[in-house]
Amino acid sequence: MSDRIRVTRVGVYAYHGVHPEERSLGQRFFVSLDCRLDLGPAGRGDDFAQTVDYSAMVERVQEVAVSRSFRTIEGLAEAIAATCLKEHPRLEAITVTVEKPGAPIAAMLDNIAVEVTRTRHGQGDA
């Protein structure tokens, strides 16, 4: 499916990480969603009921990110993908990117990120 809704860089302050300091002090994370679905019916009919509510997805991203604690950003990305697919039946696939700009790495870097793609039928990459 080539139709997409993209939500980029939802910022959250949360407590994810392997190190105790990350889990107690917290840090910023950014979450982006690339949602695959057929937008034809919504576009042709100008019908909100034929698409997904990206505002609701953003609220759930924030809720998942701040209400749970993950040791890895891979775990956070997986939980967000599963939640979005479960709650939005029109989604055919979703790619979730989680950025961790403050990763405790002894190097000058801009960002660390993971990206997972999940499909409605659980077949991994779309």
E runs forming strands in the chain: 4-14, 27-36, 93-99, 113-119
Tell me how long the chain is. 126
Taking only Cα atoms into account, the Rg of the chain, rounded to an integer number of angstroms, comes to 15
Q: Is 100 a catalytic residue?
A: yes
Q: Which is the catalytic residue, given 100, 106, 117, 120?
A: 100
In terms of Cβ atoms closer than 10 Å to its own Cβ (0-12, 13-18, 19+), residue 52 is buried
CA 81, 95, 52, 46: dihedral to nearest 10 degrees?
A: 180
Please identify which residue in the block is written with the tokens 């939980």: 79
Residues with catalytic roles: 100
